Chain A
Amino acid sequence: MSSTDLANLSDKLMLTTVVLYIIAMVAYAADLGFGGRRRTADAVAEKKVLATVGGGEGGGDESAPAPAAAVEQAGGRDWGRFAVLLNVLGWAAHLGVLITRGLAASHWPWANMYEFLTAIAFAAVTAYLVCLWRFQARFLGAFVMVAVVMALGGANIWLYQEVGPVRPALNSYWIAIHVSAAIIATGAFTVAGVATILYLLKAPREARGAVGDGFWAHLPSAGNLDRLALRVTMFAFPIWTAAIIMGAIWADEAWGRYWGWDPKEIWSFITWIAYAAYLHARATAGWRGRRAAVLSLVAFACLLFNFFGVNYMFQGLHTYAAPAPTAVVETVANV
């Protein structure tokens, strides 16, 4: 296939991905809203499973048997499974978008903002699917899909760029390492952010005893949401650290300094500090819970600003506009 064909295929796959994600989002929402008949079973299962996320709950759920299978049969329509199926298909199409785009351009498919955001969305979905597999965190699905559909929509509407050659400054194997690490970390931080928002919404209801038996009851307990957010952040934080360091190594190769307080560097650093503060706060009495969660969201806001704000508001080396001329002023004495 020619480069143009591949690029067209990539665009078509993108459309497929978005459609699949939107349907998955609706199905996840239906699962959260109407999955009532299976609620009891899920609640038990979630309690048990999420204990693995956090543990330390004490031995409270020792006696939980496995009634899930029995209730499952009585469940009728299973929106949740349908959602997961569509989600996985969407994920495969999403992977296809990236691969065809990369083949069409014959470089790593994250050389501009459109490709970068597409890859971040892919990482977020992957992180969610991992959480689904490891911690049965299906409740996150609807929210992650909302974030991802918004990201992909924005990428297509405002950031779309045709397949093009890579700039000399980006023509390095470091793009595969540094940008991939940033993408993976951002995807995981997004999932942690979703869990944290849910925690902040659920915790006060739980404290008031106002959970009821609808939507809110369907989410795991606030404590488990909080721990899930922590675990995912603990996964992403070292990767983000590594991304910054590899960025510094690359900057040393490309620009002749490993740290120059470029706006992107500043905001990566601020994001790193904010997440470090969150991780420390989680371990400090008096900061746990709500305050730490707010810190985590502040950190996530820094991450988002680092992605959007820095690239569009500031002139820096990461803007990938034409390089600014260096004013070389010679002090002339003898010509």
Chain B
Amino acid sequence: MAKTPENVETAARTAAEETGDEAATAAPAGRQAAAETPRPKGIGLVGWLRWGWRQLTTMRTALILLFLVALGSVPGSILPQRGQAPEKVAEYFEKHKTLAPWLDKLSLFDVFAAPWFAAIYILLFVSLAGCVLPRAVKHYRAMRARPPAAPRNLGRLPQHARHETDASPEEVLAEARALLRERRFRVDAGDGSVAAEKGYLGETGNLLFHLALLALLFALGVGNLFGYRGDILVTEGKTFANSLSHYDQFKPGRWFDTDGLAPFSLALDDFKATYETREGPNKGQATDYDARMRFRETPDGPEKTYHLKVNHPLSVGGAKVYLLNHGYAPVFTVRDAKGNIAFQDAVPFLPMEQVNYTSEGVIKAPDAEPEQLAFYAVLWPTAVPAKKGDQIESGWPAPLRPVVSIASFKGDVGLDSGTPQSVYKLEGLGKSLKMVKDGRQLLRPGQTFKLPEGAGSITFDGVREWTTLSVNHDPGRMPALIAAILAVVGVVASFMVRRRRVWVRAAAGDDGRTVVEVGGLTLGHPTPEFDEIVAALRGGEERGPDGSGAGETAPDTESKE
């Protein structure tokens, strides 16, 4: 900044002040001076760097960068994103075999983690910091400096007034000082004049807004680096302990220490969904989810209960637990050919549709002997005859009349190989797993299906519900909130408060009366304040509409409507 031509800045600033109206959002002087900065010729590396820095911190560059951030976010809404829906990205790759890899090379499936996106917003924030920080220093100095002395010709200011009085110049100036101080101006006495200034809050707010945005980005970064997020599926009657192995999905921040997981535990006692039962188009819509939980902050801590609902997360051990989804987990008992229980548990099924929760799932019994058993099943929570044909469909999302259809398989389930597989799918169908002939059956709770040739049996014991819970820990949460609130406060202050200057000059006129001149300069729209000051200075004298400059009040027009 050392070589910044101060006069250029001042010129730009005066220009901005004179055009007046935009000042509430006015650019810093430094940002406007760019056009006047000569293109460097043979200035060496330092010169080029300085030139580059100045270019980067101009308002034009900032505007272009802002625009690029907006433009760069667009593909994030059009294309599926890995961060939000990885399965949809996979689907997209299936559908667009040639295009997808190209898009992927441009990180278009990870827009918000893409290097080019980071480049844009880091440049933007550097540009912002490069402008705001020096400006903050300047503002601090300006706040402590004396108000600028009165210009020679007050008549050329946007607001001006002139009157004569019998009081002496000294009296007038003393009164002006008192009056302006009373109005909370900072007042400085000059030679035969008074200079006053107020409204620094506007610029303070403007700086606060921009600094708060920097802080917000910083808080987001801290949250991403030091936080974690995980999803778990919990069935009624089961317990979850907050450790890595219990998570179905776990995304730690880059610098999160996984040993630092808070040692809390949760148990889901009961999940209850309430549905709209009144007739009408909304019948069957969920109106409330309520998961009754028990939890402990630490393994030895006291047990507490909590009703986990949507919009009502549980805070435990510095983490927050959210209710995400729900579904059904039918309970089955599988007996093998020898009559031993090979499997007995609730099996989470995934909804095939979201209205009445027809769900599907698989039961794997690798312990069955001599041959391993597996089943594919469909659950209708409230089984009713389908309108067409002799099929079944679910008529209601709650489990009023649950029925499962079972298809049986035997052979090798494939779990012994150690390769991870989905708990919602059967692998090796038709290869290692053969369908059991006549192995299909509909079951109601309590019913048992005996497989042909004494291969074993499966009992449908009943239906439980599961919920998916999201657990996250985000140390940036509170700082981000505070920064966001400060940003709003800042932007409101910068829009509401305008800096304004008032000068009063008093001198003896030719006829012995004192000539009082008042001049006003407001960044932004002139306010009625100036007229009030002038009126107060005139005291009891007549106050006509003349001489009020471009004042705001127009009472005669208002009464017209």
Contact = CB atoms under 8 A, between A and B. Distances in A.
A267 to B, nearest CB: 6
A266 B378 CA distance: 38
A256 B470 contact: yes
A279 B351 CA distance: 48
B541 interface: no
B391 interface: no
Contacts of B366: 335
A66 B87 CA distance: 70
Contacts of A82: none
A212 interface: no
Contacts of A325: 325, 327, 350-351, 354
Chain A CB count within 10 A is highest, among B62, B76, B354, for B76
Interface stretch (B185-193, B432-440, B482-490): B482-490
Interface string A54-77: 111111101001101100100000
Contacts of B83: 260-261
A179 to B, nearest CB: 14
B25 to A, nearest CB: 4
B66 A277 contact: yes
A34 interface: no
Interface in B518-561: 522, 525-526, 545-550, 552-554, 556-558, 560-561
A136 B420 contact: no
Interface string A318-331: 00001111111111
B355 interface: yes
Contacts of B289: 168
Contacts of B423: 329-330, 332
A169 B22 contact: no
Given A48-B554, A52-B552, A266-B77, A329 B26 contact: no
Interface string A24-53: 000000000000000000000100110111
B243 to A, nearest CB: 15
Contact of B354 (A136, A245, A323): A323
A12 interface: no
Chain A CB count within 10 A is highest, among B73, B424, B485, B522, for B73
Contact of A330 (B84, B320, B422, B474): B422
B495 interface: yes
A277 B63 contact: yes
Interface in B216-263: 220, 229, 231, 233, 248-249
Interface in A191-239: 227, 230, 234-235, 237-238
Chain B CB count within 10 A is highest, among A49, A169, A266, A267, for A266
B229 A257 contact: yes
Contacts of A85: none
Nearest to A248: B484
Contacts of A259: 220
A53 B477 CA distance: 40
B317 interface: no
Given A238-B495, A329-B424, A168 B287 contact: yes
Nearest to A72: B560
Contacts of A151: none
Interface stretch (A91-99, A117-125, A285-293): A285-293
Contacts of B424: 329
Interface string A141-185: 000000000000000000001101111110110100000000000
A329 B21 contact: no
B506 interface: no
Contacts of B287: 165-168, 171
Given A167-B285, A281-B63, A328-B233, A234 B495 contact: yes
Contacts of A252: 477
A285 to B, nearest CB: 6
B77 A54 contact: no
Contacts of B325: 323, 325-326
Interface in A291-335: 302, 310, 314, 322-333, 335
Given A59-B550, A266-B73, A164 B276 contact: yes
Given A168-B286, A254-B311, A330-B423, A261 B112 contact: yes
B303 interface: no
Given A48-B554, A56-B158, A326-B468, A254 B73 contact: no
Given A165-B285, A280-B59, A54 B73 contact: no
B322 interface: yes
Interface of B is mostly: mixed
A14 interface: no
Nearest to B88: A315
B77 A282 contact: no
Interface string B30-60: 0110010000000000000000000000011
A164 B285 contact: yes
Contacts of B73: 261, 266, 269-270
B67 A136 contact: no
A283 B25 contact: yes
Contacts of B311: 168-169, 171-172, 174, 250, 253-254
B98 interface: no
Contacts of B112: 261
Interface residues of A, number: 89
Given A164-B282, A256-B322, A136 B561 contact: yes
Nearest to A41: B560
Given A255-B322, A261-B76, A329 B248 contact: yes
A274 interface: yes
Interface in B109-145: 111-112
Nearest to A4: B280
A136 B320 contact: no
A88 interface: no
Given A55-B21, A162-B281, A164-B281, A171 B288 contact: yes
Contacts of A174: 311
A161 to B, nearest CB: 7
Contacts of B7: none
Nearest to A66: B556
Contacts of B85: 324
Nearest to B470: A256
Given A258-B480, A261-B112, A241 B487 contact: yes
Contacts of A65: 556
Contacts of A187: none
Contact of B62 (A58, A257, A269, A280): A280
A109 interface: no
B484 A245 contact: yes
A277 B59 CA distance: 10
Contacts of B231: 326, 328
Contacts of A267: 77
B70 interface: yes
A270 B112 CA distance: 13
Given A56-B525, A261-B81, A283-B16, 16 more contacts: A45-B557, A49-B558, A55-B522, A55-B525, A56-B19, A164-B280, A238-B495, A256-B472, A273-B66, A273-B69, A281-B63, A283-B26, A310-B77, A326-B468, A329-B249, A333-B418
18 contacts: A49-B557, A72-B560, A161-B281, A162-B280, A230-B22, A234-B25, A237-B495, A241-B491, A253-B312, A255-B324, A256-B320, A256-B472, A269-B73, A282-B25, A284-B32, A287-B60, A326-B324, A330-B248
Interface of B: 15-16, 19-27, 31-32, 35, 59-60, 62-63, 66-67, 69-70, 73-74, 76-78, 81, 83-85, 87, 111-112, 158, 220, 229, 231, 233, 248-249, 276, 280-282, 285-289, 309-313, 320, 322, 324-325, 327, 348, 350-351, 354-355, 364, 366, 415, 418, 420-424, 468, 470, 472, 474, 477, 480-481, 484-485, 487-488, 491-492, 495, 522, 525-526, 545-550, 552-554, 556-558, 560-561
A-B residue pairs, 9 tightest by C-beta:
A322-B354, A164-B282, A56-B20, A256-B322, A66-B556, A331-B420, A172-B311, A168-B310, A263-B77
